[in-house]
Structure 1
Amino acid sequence: MLVGRDGERTHVERLLRDASSGSSAALVVRGDAGIGKSALLDHAVAGAGDMRVLRGVGIESEAELAFGALHLLLYPHLDRLDVLPAPQAAALRGAFGLSDDTATPFLIGAATLTLLAELAAEKPLLCVVDDAQWLDRGSSDALLFAARRFQADPVVMLFAVRDTAVPFATPGIEELRLTRLSADAAAGLLDDRSPGLTAPMRARVLEEADGNPLAVLELGAARLAAQREGRAEPAHQVGPLPVTRRVQDAFRAQITGLPPASQAILLVAAADRLAGMDTVLRVARAVGADTADLEPAERAGLISVTDELTFRHPLVRAAAYQCATHHQRIAVHRAFAEALTTPDRRAWHLAAATTEPDEEVAAELERTALRAERRGGAMAVSAAYDRAGRLSVDPERKARRIAKAALAAYDAGKPDRAARLAVEVTSLTTDPAVIADMTLLRGQIEYERTSPEADAALAAQAARLVADSDPERAVVMLTEMLCAGRDAGALTSVTEGGRMLAGLDLRPGSRSRLAADALSSWGALLSGQPEAGPLRAVLEIGHLPGEDVMHRVVAGFSGLMLADDHATIAVMDTMVAETRATGALMWIPYAQEILAFAHALRGDFLTAQTCLAEAVALGTEFGLDMEVAVLRSVSVWLAAVTGDQTRCRALAAEVLPVLENRHAVGTAMTHWGLGLLDLAAGRYATAFDALHLVCTGPARYDFLIRAVPDLVEAAVRDGDPGRVTEHIEAFDHWAAHVDSPVATALSHRCHAMVEDSEKRYRAALDVPAGPFDEARTRLLYGEWLRRRRRRGEARTELTAALAGFARLGATTWEARAASELGERPVEPAVVNVLKDLTPQEVQVVRLAAAGLSNKEIGAQLFLSPRTIGHHLYRAYPKLGVTKRIELAQLGLG
């Protein structure tokens, strides 16, 4: 019976009821130890009715075992793996050591999602995980990944998380914090469970328990027993001793009151939760205990014994381990190492029993790390390599192992741990290759922490260390340097990186040589010299099968710089497809950033918004704060062109403090959006100021050079075209060398505005550009014709511009065209049928229209098939269709 938790109980009961109706829910219950989290989960299980229940628990001492908790949770249902998409089934088998398949964390998360959805398809599912803060990182990532993506499945996932010194983040999941009981509720609980306490003793318990229900129960029981037996009470604690400490002290007192053999068997059970009763008893016998020694602990209510031994509360387990002496723990771990045949668990018990460097044990842990690496458990990899390093005898082996621990920590999303280990490694070794890797790692961490420019500086240091000995590796480091320098607008870094790339001794004709040559031209292009270097070659490399994802990202940005939006989209679509197939989701935000830029500049605003929605969600989930701010800068631009002034300004206010003086490209994109917002509304002076920041800033020769025509329009409309002569010259120089239809069309438009030239307007319209740029040119040309009283011709151009803006959803520009016409014509015959759909609905219906099944779509988007069906059900009325087959007739590609 839960006391004093009426609101919390009602909330959980509602989630269970909703699940029976097909609604998904995930809830994190947070609070101090003993505050009632486990009791609330038990209440949920008791009220689950006909729901299928899965229960899991995290144990601090087992956090190094990759996917151990997830394996225990899903083990009874692994016979269903064959119904999962093949890559997901292989990922789970690899994660659980059932095959030699190499797994990625995100495929494991997707497989967890799909398997839970399969179970829920038969009957509603309740999944509860207690002490989730102690889950191994692989298990917690997989379960949270799944929990965030259930939408229309009858699934409830409940996580109990104890507040500890190390935060356990659960972004995107609802949280419920349990606070201390009210005075009346605590008193009622104490009187119900420990009746007969004297008034002074009752007051003392309530004071010490401070509303913590477990403390009320345990301290009350201890005081009542002492009172009945006439034992002396310990002195009243003065000062703020934490409630958890008081409760653990009470448990320790109960445990130390047991016979030594009973204490020993509790220590054995506490040292390895994965051990079955037969293993527990075998190890217990090795340290002088046996089955009969369980009885005193069971009689005291500390444990229950059925087919397995269960501690009454996680704090009992912790107390059983902590109150043992150091040599007792070592003896137990050594006994486990001798009793176990599972290599990973054996290795960790050996490590726990080893107090000084031991190369044999270190090598065992290194093999454990390699196995965890194949399974995709990055944090387990880091922990194993770290401990192996500490036990290494040879200093260089120690450095290399801790370096691998640092890299794995970064892959696991633990940048603070990674940075600390990386700095430590540089003090342990003189090996330039190891120091270079750690320097590059520190740079990648500083990209988010400090600025891209800090990343570029460290990447340059790393490259210099290996430029002569390993030029192929230096290409990777210099690619990081150029990309980070470009983002920061640090042209000296980009130029220096290009010079270093050109000087590397690489095999002629190799991919690395081609990439180095192409990248070396970035410095020239970003300095306003597009004629220097084979930049287009990197686009060709991006199309090669099996190309490194970093080269594809570079190819995508290069395509934007060359105004080759079609090539950019082709390269990045390939990359996104590959990352979905392999589960390398960490790259999707970066790929979708480039795709969003390209689609936005082409005028496909809906697709750009769809790309951004997924990228922002994943970037937020992965903690990529800088990348999310850059993605939102594109949203500022989109909000401007679609006429959402409130959202545009709100987003700009949100991202500029993050980006200014750190990320030049994102900052410029934001100001470009603000400038377009004012330009469309006729606020030309204000628009000029914002656009001038873009066109004179450090990113002015990036793809943001395409803001120059907007600056020219603002200057001309504001009556001072002479202010932009230099900008037009730079734009023409760029357009002539990139040889892009878009660049050519925009160059003609600039000259048409400044020269008041109909010939130039016609030339701009004769070159194929994106639909937004074409509509903008028609609007300007129509306005030019109208001022010359050529009303019929003006109406033709303005009507075409209006129809174009309407199709794209560029409402402010549409209003400007309508104002020029003086009346609003009939709606255009062709409209974007997807305009009323959410970004995720757009993704789903496009894939469905291509003929993919719900399961195939779910595998691509990492959603359950039922959620895919839910999106289709919501999309059909908006599209005016009733059947899946009709989607193919809508032309949704």
Structure 2
Amino acid sequence: MLKGRGPERNRLERMLADARDGRSGALVVRGEAGIGKSTLLEDLASAAGEMRVLRALGIESEAELPFCGLHLLLHPFADRLEGLPDQQAAAMRSAFGMAESPVRDPFLIGAATLTLLSDLAAQRPLVCLLDDTQWLDRASSDALFFAARRLHDDPIAMVFAVRDTVQPFPTPGIETMRLDGLDRASATDLLAECAPELTVPVRDRLLDEAGGNPLALIELAHALRDGFVDQAGPLRVTGRVQDAFRAQLGELPAATRLLLLLAAADGAAELGVVLRAGETLGASPADLGPAEEARLVVTAGDEIRFRHPLIRAVAYQDAPHHQRIAAHRALAESLPVAADADRRTWHRAAAATGPDEEVAGELERTAERARHRGGTVAVASAYERAARLSAGRRGKAQRIVRAARSAYDAGRPDWATRLATEAAALTDEPGVVAEAAYVRAQVAYERTSPAADAALALEGATLISRSDPERAVSMLTEAVWAARDACAHDLLRRGVALLETVRLPVGSALTPVAAALIGYGRLSDGDPAAAVPPMRALVTAVQAGTVQDFVERVIAGFMGLLIADDEAATDLLEALAADVRAAGSLGWLPYLLEPLAIGRLLRGDFRGAGADVAEGVWLASDIGILKAISVWLAAVSGDAARCQELAGEVLEHAALHPTNAALASWGLGLLDLADGRSEQALDRFEAVCSGPARHDLLIRAVPDHVEAAVRSGHADLARRHVPVLSAWAEHNVLGRALELRCQGLLSEGDQAEEHYRAALDLVPGRPYERARTGLVYGEWLRRRRRRSEARAVLVQAEDAFARLGAARWAARARAELSVLGDRPVARDQADDPLQRLTPQELQVVRLAAAGYSNREIAARLYLSPRTVGHHLYRAYPKIGVTRRMELTQLEL
């Protein structure tokens, strides 16, 4: 009986209307126990009419079993898995226990959920109702939230009901509607319907104390009527409702309460299993009758359900400890061994009263089955419970550190840190202590600082540098790269020094990785001659396929950028991105998109860089380097407000992430330089080029420093950082071109022109750098009154800037042409229709032009096929095409 809730019902009905019109929606309904969330979902299901309704219920006792909730919701449509992209279909089969293939990335199951829901909605609009979401297993809730956040143009409405608990249940990225108590009039109507015999004083007291909670009104009214609750003393809503249920349960025969305990101990157990377990404890099927007559449970077929979750909670929590142990043991014995191995193991674990290596071993096997299916939270839970049942400290420590690693992989940093700290305290075994330090290090990167990460990773690597050199190199890779991000050169040098002592096995794939990291240490010390060969060798090794691990391939891409081998680096990273997308390894994408965006930016592909940044932020909004790249892109595009806003966010964390801050400062300096504020630009570039990251990517800011110094009349400062650039330039063509531009700015007469022309000759495939050089050369020609030559060079520069989307620099070039008497007109987006596309539209159009179908594009970009279709529908008129085949003729 739904009373009141007019605004809430209207909001949900609008969601249904939007879904019928092809617009997706997702909403979390939060509230305390008994506030009416389930009733609201029932009302929504009734209002759905012809729409397909899918429903699932979270059950607390199933929270450790991966994909139970998803199985309940989508397993009836397992026959449709054949229509999913191959990787998604395989992942979903594994999650449902229908295949032996392991799940490489849990996000792939989220992508499969998204595609399957979209396919189901293609037939008729779809409503997904998830009740008691806080008790869904984490693997299922992650997959469903992933899908909910990525539904845009599908006829789907998703509603998650979440109960307020002591430990808040996060629902990131999904809008929330708070469900509070009923208003007084609605509460009075409800009470009049369910208990009309109450006297006015009792009714008013209930209304005052229940706070509009419908369950409290109904159950306490019945309990008062039936004498289960006295009328004295204050009423506590949830507590008194539980008291009412407790009183009702207390009136039942002992055998009936035992059967209810069994049902509460395993919410997924079939009625037959509950009854078999009951028989071993002396209860018969007839003993269930009193509970059904009291409306505490409902049975249908082979299913037994509690009327409300609070009844389940009371039935389990109020049972004596020895009865709960007996119940779990009986359920374990009654479950089929093969079909319910994991559930059986968890019951055996719950029944254990002390160390039990046999059960601990079973839990390890349960953990590995969960890992195989992609349920990382379940892996951590199983290993932690196995540790608690371990007979010795050594085995306990090993299991706890495995739990810590799985907790970190599952995105539970606090849990991971607690477990890692405990593991290290239990033993002095180097492997365990090192792995615990490594877990804490990776958590520390975001929770504390990259420097803290580097220090802890060094601590772990030191312990195993001789006993496990390959694992030590993995930890040192973390240490060196975190130290790079922190500009912590002392930690970087320690990491490099330790790498030099590690003796890897002959033929180890990590040998070129270790050498390249040592090389990077030399680069950070200002010795590019020693640095470049091993760094370039790693790029070559990845290109040859001898280094295939994801992390090492990403680092190779970064190495390529650091030595200005930008083309090889971006090609390598694009190939890795294709592999990651094909494998469905979404979790790795944000870390890959960072260097890929930088590579595109440095090559002048600003639109591509913007698309990578947009996707990276969409996948992981808290990656600071992506914001720093966005500062740079906003500067060249001419969006001053966004540039300054984003820079403020990045610079706020400059002490912890100085590399990001330096990149953002470079962007701000470019904004100032393009707008003619040379003094301000010089101050920013001086900080960047003198800072701790000056031998990293920021070495490419030296020409900007020289230009700002020359323009502001500080010739004494202009040459300050050129020697560093010159040393780096000896080892790459781009560096030589940048150095020549600097020499042109610093020279007079014919010598300056020689430098400019030589610089232009060295950057034919670098449209942005060529245009920057052309701009300063054109300005030099204008000052020399060589008007026609200046006009030709400046027109080329302006054209290049406009095509690249570098609006600020295009405006600078037009200003120079105006001085020559030309009246150039600023281009609008109609001149380059690709600029009118959103970053995601650009990604979709590029993939469509490459020949991918909507379904293939959806799988690669983690969208629904229908959303891909809508992106193309919106993009076609923007770029002036009417058919898909015309996309191949565009320069994308």
Normalization by structure 2: what TM-score?
0.96
Check the 8 A contact 1:57/1:131 in 2, yes or no.
Answer: yes
Return the offset for 1:861. Answer: 1.3
Residue aligning to 1:765: 760
Match of 1:731 among 725, 735, 738: 725
Counterpart check, 1:133 vs 2:134: yes
- SS for the counterpart of 1:532 is helix
After TM superposition, list the pairs within 5 Å mapping 1:31-50 onto structure 2: 31-50=31-50
Change (3 A) 1:682 1:88: same
Distance 1:245 1:646 in 2: 53
Change (3 A) 1:804 1:263: same
Match of 1:699 among 693, 704, 714: 693
Cα deviation 1:832-877 (Å, max 9, x = unaligned): 4421111111111111111111111111112111111111111111
Match of 1:236 among 233, 237, 240: 233
Residue aligning to 2:650: 655
Distance 1:880 1:601 in 2: 29
Return the offset for 1:826. Answer: 5.9
Match of 1:750 among 734, 742, 747: 742
Counterpart check, 1:95 vs 2:95: yes
Check the 8 A contact 1:541/1:551 in 2, yes or no.
Answer: no
Residue aligning to 2:795: 799
Check the 8 A contact 2:601/2:609 in 1, yes or no.
Answer: yes
Cα deviation 1:81-118 (Å, max 9, x = unaligned): 11111211111111122111101311111111111112
Counterpart check, 1:684 vs 2:684: no
Residue aligning to 1:163: 164
Cα deviation 1:398-423 (Å, max 9, x = unaligned): 11111111100001000000000000
Percent of aligned pairs with the same residue? 55
Return the offset for 1:508. Answer: 4.8
Return the offset for 1:61. Answer: 1.6
- SS for the counterpart of 2:730 is helix
Distance 2:542 2:36 in 1: 55
Check the 8 A contact 1:844/1:868 in 2, yes or no.
Answer: yes
- SS for the counterpart of 1:868 is helix
Residue aligning to 2:785: 789
Q: Which stretch shows the higher mean deviation, 601-610 or 760-769?
A: 760-769
- Calculate the aligned-residue CA RMSD, in Å: 1.7
Return the offset for 1:317. Answer: 1.6
Which one-letter code corresponds to 2:243 in the other structure? Answer: D
How many aligned residue pairs are there?
876
Check the 8 A contact 1:803/1:827 in 2, yes or no.
Answer: no
After TM superposition, list the pairs within 5 Å mapping 1:318-329 onto structure 2: 318-329=313-324
Which one-letter code corresponds to 1:52 in the other structure? Answer: R
Return the offset for 1:232. Answer: 7.5
Counterpart check, 1:671 vs 2:665: yes
Cα deviation 1:6-42 (Å, max 9, x = unaligned): 1110011111111112111111111111122111111
- SS for the counterpart of 1:427 is helix
Residue aligning to 1:311: 306
Residue aligning to 2:809: 813
Distance 1:159 1:64 in 2: 20
Return the offset for 1:748. Answer: 0.7
Which one-letter code corresponds to 1:744 in the other structure? Answer: R
- SS for the counterpart of 2:834 is coil
Which one-letter code corresponds to 2:429 in the other structure? Answer: D
Distance 1:143 1:864 in 2: 14
After TM superposition, list the pairs within 5 Å mapping 1:542-691 onto structure 2: 542-545=542-545, 547-620=548-621, 625=622, 628-658=623-653, 660-691=654-685
Return the offset for 1:302. Answer: 1.9
- SS for the counterpart of 2:262 is helix
Which one-letter code corresponds to 2:215 in the other structure? Answer: L
After TM superposition, list the pairs within 5 Å mapping 1:268-667 onto structure 2: 268-307=262-301, 308-341=303-336, 342-508=340-506, 510-533=508-531, 534-545=534-545, 547-620=548-621, 625=622, 628-658=623-653, 660-667=654-661
Distance 1:355 1:441 in 2: 30
Q: Which stretch shows the higher mean deviation, 796-805 or 818-827?
A: 818-827
Distance 2:321 2:32 in 1: 27
Distance 2:843 2:81 in 1: 27
- SS for the counterpart of 1:156 is strand
Distance 1:388 1:251 in 2: 35
Return the offset for 1:541. Answer: 2.6
Return the offset for 1:544. Answer: 4.1
Residue aligning to 1:118: 119
- SS for the counterpart of 1:160 is strand
Distance 1:232 1:28 in 2: 34
Distance 1:23 1:290 in 2: 52
Q: Which stretch shows the higher mean deviation, 206-215 or 366-375?
A: 206-215
Distance 1:790 1:261 in 2: 104
Residue aligning to 1:224: 225
Distance 1:338 1:507 in 2: 49
Check the 8 A contact 2:220/2:244 in 1, yes or no.
Answer: yes
Cα deviation 1:511-545 (Å, max 9, x = unaligned): 22221112101111012111114221121233243
Which one-letter code corresponds to 2:283 in the other structure? Answer: A
Distance 1:490 1:824 in 2: 51
Q: Is there any run of 5+ residues in structure 1 with no aligned partner, and where?
A: none
After TM superposition, list the pairs within 5 Å mapping 1:52-63 onto structure 2: 52-63=52-63
Return the offset for 1:825. Answer: 3.0
Residue aligning to 1:15: 15
- SS for the counterpart of 1:76 is helix
Distance 1:548 1:820 in 2: 50
Residue aligning to 1:881: 881
Check the 8 A contact 1:803/1:828 in 2, yes or no.
Answer: no
Residue aligning to 2:853: 853
Counterpart check, 1:181 vs 2:182: yes
Check the 8 A contact 2:229/2:244 in 1, yes or no.
Answer: no
Which one-letter code corresponds to 1:667 in the other structure? Answer: A
Distance 1:827 1:735 in 2: 35
Cα deviation 1:687-708 (Å, max 9, x = unaligned): 1111112111111110111111
- SS for the counterpart of 1:26 is strand
Normalization by structure 1: what TM-score?
0.96
Distance 1:110 1:486 in 2: 34
Distance 1:384 1:28 in 2: 29
Return the offset for 1:827. Answer: 7.1
Return the offset for 1:828. Answer: 7.6
